[in-house]
Chain A
């Protein structure tokens, strides 16, 4: 009881200091401190009360070791996640309160009237809610409630088909960064490593997702632009070539996985290996060596996305004004410089669109390709976040751990979407202005 009280007090004080400092410009020092204190109090209560202050229980622990510059410390993963959670929720409360404070209507007005931005809704107090109701109800029933349930499940030891669940604090989350059997060990600039992790299975899965995303985006876009450039040439039968180049896009992930499995099969039967054997060469371990298997997944997925990318880039290239290219040509720019300084900036909105669509695809839609090509193997080398969620939640029926994993996925979606808005809004040329 005492520790819970002290924790809440500490969260309130630290919340006041941190939020006060960060939001002092818009709220003043006193206002910022007050806002931070309220946010800290709400942040700690709304997270720790449902969690029954379990992170303070000395028996609730899962440790990992962290070595930075040769110094090693042992960290309680459950406590760290608990503190991060309180901080995140406190910050969310602070932003929400800050926004409400600054947009709260004067007496007699409405929240909506206070906003002077174009497109402001003006009307009676209750009328917006009537119009919003169908959407809000839909979102509440089909999105927010399941999301809340998912957070709840993330704190449970739960199995599909077993009615009973057991509260297990933040263990499901902690097990993503360490293991109950063997502490994970993270090295940062230590023991001759810039970065190294031991016994961090989920981190490796996360790394696979990042690897796939980077390389699929890179390969599918570089090839996409190259092929689109070729396909944009005025040659006889161009439309046939374009159609042929686009068709892989119409193929489902399952078919892509199966086709590449037949092509790259590791034994004597894969088409490529049979060809190699016919040429008197040794077969290659396309699907049985971890790095070859990763490369195979990238190849299959990039091929699948290539058609879509070519489609967009062909359209994008057609939209590049001829006059600009001609002007650059007159100024003495060679083909490469014209491409780099005129074409690329002009098609940059399309590049970013395609990059983010490809990123979303490679993070969230690779399951069918991986399941049919490598089944996540060998030794998890091609298991990414989505494959792992399905493994844990559907195949192993451990819905508590899967819920925790899906929250990580959710955070990735939020991160990618945020990045998308930032980059698309600021760094892309949408025309001459």
Chain B
């Protein structure tokens, strides 16, 4: 029995010849892999859902620079991307380029993982034949990613908050005269309340406005009113940030306005992605969100038979407007690369700023074309005239002052503080918590985080 069983088992084994055959077949592919002497540039980004990147951008770059092999790696959000990048650093094999977020600029700078862009470029005006277009970067997109006038990272997917409106609803409620009357979309706080009152009178089942109870709008609201988010001029005035200024009168005013919308039932807080459904159903009149959502908003509108308009983020009509700030992301260059690899990574970064690439990126997504040349190209093509919804973000940033208020605050625990906003705002909006007291508490908690961060990374500014 035993021998019989063994014999049977042997019969099932793949013959040696078959294994050899497989090896022989695999050999050419191994040789091919060795033959690929292109320089690998790994770009770790978070836009797995934007197929334009692998389908258009990557082949275009590799066709223009056959010596480079651009390898795309994707994370599902900025936080995960940075987390996985940190792991890769700890294991000694980080990707060459990482997409970071505007709410986490200082901590990567302090990590020692990255090389400042201006240091890598030096005084060169072109890289691999591509012009260096950093001096073309517009408005707050420029100042946000600069330290002492020098770029640390490459601004790429920059956006700013704008209001998208269901124009059909606005016309029906008497807020706008016709569906192309985008200027009628309220652009001040008072106008939002007035428009919402009209909408509430006209419909029973339409929500007036939705926007996140989150940090980005809060920061923009302060910048618009000319207030600083943190001391030492947002950390850009020659000293490090040691405290935040979240409890300023401007901050209280903004939240009081937000609360007035909530109290009147004009502002509705949706769960995750729920606004998409309400928007698609034509039951939401206005949606304040990132200008990068332009493509999605417009397409949903077209698909559901209503016109989508856009206008600037509403500002406080009682205070002089200073400017908006940008959000989104930037690209960081890993430090310690081999010179030829660093050259390849820089080439790709400059390739992104090429007018046609930046313009296409804007058209695909709605992100602001951050260079003047890309903007000019789009304008020459008549893009903004045909797609006025896409023009608002650039107009808003063009009208924003290049000032420390609009450049955003820089401190290492910014990302942590960013997460604290939501809790406090919900407390104010839902639980009727006192605005000043809540902001005082938020400031105290944020200051503690800053103190802890500065203990770990002593400030040497």
Chain A positions within 8 Å of B, measured between CB atoms, are 157-166, 180-181, 261-262, 265-270, 277, 287-289, 372-375, 377-380, 391, 394-398
**Cβ-based interface call for B431 (8 A):** yes
Interface SS, A side: loop
Nearest B residue (CB) for A163: B112
**With contacts A161-B107, A397-B416 known, is A377 near B422, CB below 8 A?**
yes
**Cβ-based interface call for B17 (8 A):** no
Give Cα distance in the complex from A277 to B83, angstroms: 43
**With contacts A265-B271, A267-B278 known, is A164 near B457, CB below 8 A?**
yes
Whether the Cβ atoms of B107 and A396 lie closer than 8 Å is no
A residues near B422, Cβ cutoff 8 Å? 377
Give Cα distance in the complex from A265 to B277, angstroms: 10
A residues near B110, Cβ cutoff 8 Å? 162
13 contacts between A and B (CB under 8 A): A161-B113, A162-B457, A166-B455, A265-B277, A266-B269, A267-B271, A267-B275, A268-B278, A269-B274, A269-B278, A287-B271, A379-B427, A379-B431
Whether the Cβ atoms of A181 and B444 lie closer than 8 Å is yes
A residues near B284, Cβ cutoff 8 Å? 268
A residues near B431, Cβ cutoff 8 Å? 379
Whether the Cβ atoms of B271 and A268 lie closer than 8 Å is no
- Neighbour of B415 across the interface among A373, A380, A397, CB < 8 A: A397
**Cβ-based interface call for B124 (8 A):** no
Whether the Cβ atoms of A268 and B205 lie closer than 8 Å is yes
A residues near B455, Cβ cutoff 8 Å? 157, 166
* Bitwise interface map of B from 76 to 114 toward A, beta carbon under 8 Å scored 1, else 0: 000100110010000000000000000000011011110
Whether the Cβ atoms of B448 and A267 lie closer than 8 Å is no
Whether the Cβ atoms of A157 and B270 lie closer than 8 Å is no
Which of B113, B272, B427 has its CB near the most chain A CB atoms (within 10 A)? B272
B residues near A398, Cβ cutoff 8 Å? 416
B residues near A373, Cβ cutoff 8 Å? 271
**With contacts A161-B107, A161-B111 known, is A266 near B457, CB below 8 A?**
no
Shortest distance from the beta carbon of B458 to any chain A beta carbon, whole Å: 9
Whether the Cβ atoms of B79 and A395 lie closer than 8 Å is yes
- Neighbour of A269 across the interface among B83, B270, B430, CB < 8 A: B270
Q: Which of B417-441 contact A (CB under 8 A)?
A: 419, 422-423, 426-427, 430-431, 441
Shortest distance from the beta carbon of B451 to any chain A beta carbon, whole Å: 10
Give Cα distance in the complex from A261 to B276, angstroms: 13
Give Cα distance in the complex from A181 to B420, angstroms: 15
- Neighbour of B205 across the interface among A180, A277, A378, A396, CB < 8 A: A277
**Cβ-based interface call for B384 (8 A):** no
A residues near B444, Cβ cutoff 8 Å? 181
Other CB < 8 Å A-B pairs besides A265-B277, A266-B269, 19 of them? A159-B453, A161-B86, A164-B457, A166-B455, A261-B273, A261-B274, A267-B269, A267-B274, A268-B205, A268-B278, A268-B284, A269-B270, A269-B277, A269-B281, A270-B271, A288-B269, A377-B422, A377-B426, A380-B423
Q: Which of B226-279 contact A (CB under 8 A)?
A: 268-275, 277-278
Give Cα distance in the complex from A379 to B270, angstroms: 15
Q: In the complex, how many residues of chain B place their beta carbon closer than 8 angstroms to a beta carbon of chain A?
A: 45
A residues near B453, Cβ cutoff 8 Å? 159
Give Cα distance in the complex from A158 to B455, angstroms: 10
Whether the Cβ atoms of A378 and B430 lie closer than 8 Å is yes
**Cβ-based interface call for B150 (8 A):** no
B residues near A166, Cβ cutoff 8 Å? 455-456
**Cβ-based interface call for B207 (8 A):** yes
Give Cα distance in the complex from A289 to B271, angstroms: 12
**Cβ-based interface call for B452 (8 A):** yes
Whether the Cβ atoms of A157 and B419 lie closer than 8 Å is no
B residues near A289, Cβ cutoff 8 Å? 430
Nearest B residue (CB) for A373: B271
Whether the Cβ atoms of A266 and B271 lie closer than 8 Å is yes
Whether the Cβ atoms of B107 and A162 lie closer than 8 Å is yes
Shortest distance from the beta carbon of A264 to any chain B beta carbon, whole Å: 8
B residues near A157, Cβ cutoff 8 Å? 452, 455-456
Q: Which of B192-207 contact A (CB under 8 A)?
A: 205, 207
Whether the Cβ atoms of B274 and A265 lie closer than 8 Å is yes
Give Cα distance in the complex from A180 to B448, angstroms: 9
Give Cα distance in the complex from A165 to B415, angstroms: 19
**With contacts A181-B448, A269-B281 known, is A162 near B271, CB below 8 A?**
no
B residues near A181, Cβ cutoff 8 Å? 441, 444-445, 448
Shortest distance from the beta carbon of A38 to any chain B beta carbon, whole Å: 39
- Neighbour of A396 across the interface among B269, B281, B415, B457, CB < 8 A: B415
B residues near A277, Cβ cutoff 8 Å? 205
Give Cα distance in the complex from A266 to B422, angstroms: 17
Shortest distance from the beta carbon of A83 to any chain B beta carbon, whole Å: 26
Give Cα distance in the complex from A313 to B220, angstroms: 56
Whether the Cβ atoms of B272 and A162 lie closer than 8 Å is no
Shortest distance from the beta carbon of A275 to any chain B beta carbon, whole Å: 13
